[in-house]
Amino acid sequence: MSRLLNNILFENVQFSNSNFTKHYHDTYTIGLTYKGVLKAYNANEAYDSYQYSIRINNPGEVHHGKSEQWSHANFYPTIEIIADIYEQIFFEKKIPCFQRHIINNPELFAKLHSFFDSYFKGDDELIIETKLIEAISSLILNNTIYTKRYKEIYEDKKIIKDTYELIKDSIDTNFNLETLASNVNLSKYHFIRLFKKEFGITPHAFIINERLNRANSLIKNSNISISEASIQVGFNDQSHFARNFKKYFGYTPSKLIK
- The per-residue pLDDT for range 16-55, each reduced to its tens digit, is 898 889 999 989 999 999 999 999 998 778 999 999 999 9
Q: Is the dihedral of CA 79, 81, 86, 88 positive or negative?
A: positive
Domain map (residue ranges) of the chain: 3-149, 158-257
Statement: residue 2 has pLDDT above 70: no
Q: What is the pLDDT of residue 116?
A: 97
Statement: residue 106 has pLDDT above 60: yes
More confident residue, 151 or 14: 14
Q: How far is CA 244 from the centre of its chain?
A: 16
Highest mean pLDDT among 37-41, 140-144, 169-173, 197-201: 140-144
Mean per-residue pLDDT over the chain, rounded = 90
Contact between 115 and 132 under an 8 Å Cβ cutoff? The reply is: yes
102: CB partners within 8 A, 6+ apart: 40, 47, 48, 49, 53, 54, 55, 56
Statement: residue 211 has pLDDT above 80: yes
Q: Is the dihedral of CA 45, 38, 135, 124 positive or negative?
A: positive
204: CB partners within 8 A, 6+ apart: none
Q: 223-229: long-range contacts at Cβ-Cβ below 8 A with a sequence spacing of 24 or more?
A: 226/253, 226/254, 226/257, 229/253
pLDDT band at 237 (very low <50, low <70, confident <90, very high): confident
70-105 pLDDT, tens digit each: 999 999 999 999 999 999 999 999 999 998 789 999
Query: In 3-state terms, what secondary structure has residue 130?
Result: helix
The structural architecture, per CATH, of the domain 3-149 is Sandwich (2.60)
What percentage of the chain reaches a pLDDT higher than 90?
A: 59
Statement: residue 1 has pLDDT above 70: no
Lowest mean pLDDT among 40-49, 226-235, 249-258: 249-258
CATH topology for 158-257? Arc Repressor Mutant, subunit A (1.10.10)
210: CB partners within 8 A, 6+ apart: 164, 167, 168, 171
Statement: residue 186 has pLDDT above 60: yes
Cα–Cα distance between 92 and 55 in angstroms, integer?
A: 26
Cα–Cα distance between 129 and 146 in angstroms, integer?
A: 25
Q: What is the pLDDT of residue 29?
A: 96
Q: What is the pLDDT of residue 198?
A: 86
Statement: residue 255 has pLDDT above 80: no
Cα–Cα distance between 79 and 76 in angstroms, integer?
A: 9
Statement: residue 221 has pLDDT above 80: no
pLDDT band at 7 (very low <50, low <70, confident <90, very high): confident
pLDDT band at 258 (very low <50, low <70, confident <90, very high): low
Contact between 257 and 218 under an 8 Å Cβ cutoff? The reply is: no
112-140 burial: b if 16+ Cβ within 10 Å, else e: bbbbbebbeeebeeeebbbbbbebbebbb
Averaged over 156-179, what is the pLDDT?
89
Statement: residue 234 has pLDDT above 70: yes
Cα–Cα distance between 227 and 213 in angstroms, integer?
A: 15
